[in-house]
Chains A and B, each alone.
Chain A
């Protein structure tokens, strides 16, 4: 009986956290400027993030597997914790990319941060209304990334804690049932 209970409480599978790996956030960065791409990539690496950088919204959609006709599709097992995109890009803008991501069932939960060199209030409002997590003014600072990372990790931690609490309750429930059965 004790063995059974123990294996239940210790049944922590690999998907307890949606983090790409223990402390690493996987960030997808989208920017058409080669200078900004190099900069943001380094900024994120220095902040202990795993980074994938693409040069357009179209490529971002390709990477996510959202470029097909099936809107709810997506790449299996792709763990992205955050998407950071430039607003002004030729072709599809960051705003349009944001909308496509929020429309997809596979990726709508992923926080999307918009970056822009222009401090235009209606633009900021529009992005936030469409579900953007945050709006950063370029050039992005280390402190901005740190803040983002900390708030995302806190959110992950809350999810993890809630789940551990739930498992504890389930384990206690099983234990009580077994105790009663013994009697």
Chain B
């Protein structure tokens, strides 16, 4: 029994570290994990869930604003990018945040093509992160079900 838990914990640790190393997550995600404890074991999952809902909503709105080439509401798009950048920054979604930086630049110069490319990219990145984190949370569940504790992982 003990080795099963140890194995799962190792898997969890390696997976989490790889997410940081591949740039999916940054330090802010560590801060989020710090706020979770035995009393609030779903905190991180809840926050990121809100984040992904936010992404979906904002991407839809921005998509509509960018739809007609002759009538792009760049102010709307800029507002959406700003919100997306803010929330991705708050959860440590590094890749999403970085796309937002490029996205803002395209917005500033009213480059519709650039904006559309960024929109597509941000959609891809948030969905990718969603899958990765789902795998991470599943690992967490398996550890808990096997009677183990979620390891504290130190990211240098």
Q: Which of A35, A46, A141, A142 contacts B50 (CB 8 A)?
A: A35
For the complex, give the distance between the alpha carbons of A143 and B82 in Å.
25
Q: Are B34 and A39 in contact (CB under 8 A)?
A: no
In the complex, the number of residue pairs spanning A and B with C-beta atoms less than 8 Å apart equals 47
For the complex, give the distance between the alpha carbons of A23 and B90 in Å.
28
Decide yes or no: A117 and B35 within 8 Å by CB, A33-B83, A38-B47 being known contacts: no
For the complex, give the distance between the alpha carbons of A141 and B27 in Å.
11
> What 0/1 readout, one digit per residue, does chain B (80-114) give for beta carbons within 8 Å of chain A?
00110111011100000000000000000000000
Chain A residues contacting B5 (CB-CB under 8 Å) are none
Chain B residues contacting A161 (CB-CB under 8 Å) are none
B86 to chain A, nearest CB (A): 5
**Nearest chain-A residue to B37 (Cβ)?**
A46
Decide yes or no: A36 and B86 within 8 Å by CB, A42-B40, A141-B31, A142-B35 being known contacts: yes
Q: Which of A35, A139, A142 contacts B51 (CB 8 A)?
A: A35
B121 at the interface (CB under 8 A from A): no
Most chain B beta-carbon neighbours within 10 Å: one of A34, A35, A141, A142: A35
B46 at the interface (CB under 8 A from A): yes
Q: Are A43 and B35 in contact (CB under 8 A)?
A: yes
Q: Are B85 and A142 in contact (CB under 8 A)?
A: no
A93 at the interface (CB under 8 A from B): no
Residues 54-102 (chain B) with a chain A CB within 8 angstroms: 54, 82-83, 85-87, 89-91
For the complex, give the distance between the alpha carbons of A36 and B90 in Å.
7
Q: Are A138 and B86 in contact (CB under 8 A)?
A: yes
Number of interface residues of A (CB under 8 A): 15
For the complex, give the distance between the alpha carbons of A139 and B35 in Å.
14
Chain A residues contacting B43 (CB-CB under 8 Å) are 42
Most chain B beta-carbon neighbours within 10 Å: one of A34, A88, A117, A139: A139
> What 0/1 readout, one digit per residue, does chain A (131-151) give for beta carbons within 8 Å of chain B?
000000011011000000000
Q: Are A33 and B87 in contact (CB under 8 A)?
A: yes
A146 to chain B, nearest CB (A): 12
Chain B residues contacting A117 (CB-CB under 8 Å) are 85-86, 89
Decide yes or no: A139 and B40 within 8 Å by CB, A33-B83, A35-B50, A39-B32 being known contacts: no
Chain B residues contacting A138 (CB-CB under 8 Å) are 86, 89-90
For the complex, give the distance between the alpha carbons of A43 and B54 in Å.
20
Q: Are A139 and B89 in contact (CB under 8 A)?
A: yes
Decide yes or no: A139 and B83 within 8 Å by CB, A35-B54, A39-B47, A42-B40 being known contacts: no
Chain B residues contacting A141 (CB-CB under 8 Å) are 31
Q: Are B35 and A34 in contact (CB under 8 A)?
A: no
For the complex, give the distance between the alpha carbons of A133 and B91 in Å.
26
For the complex, give the distance between the alpha carbons of A117 and B47 in Å.
18
Chain B residues contacting A35 (CB-CB under 8 Å) are 47, 50-51, 54, 86-87, 90-91
B13 at the interface (CB under 8 A from A): no
Chain A residues contacting B54 (CB-CB under 8 Å) are 33-35
Listed in ascending order, the chain B residues whose CB lies under 8 Å from chain A are 28, 31-32, 34-35, 40, 43, 46-47, 50-51, 54, 82-83, 85-87, 89-91
The 6 closest A-B pairs by CB, nearest first: A35-B87, A139-B90, A42-B35, A117-B86, A35-B51, A139-B28
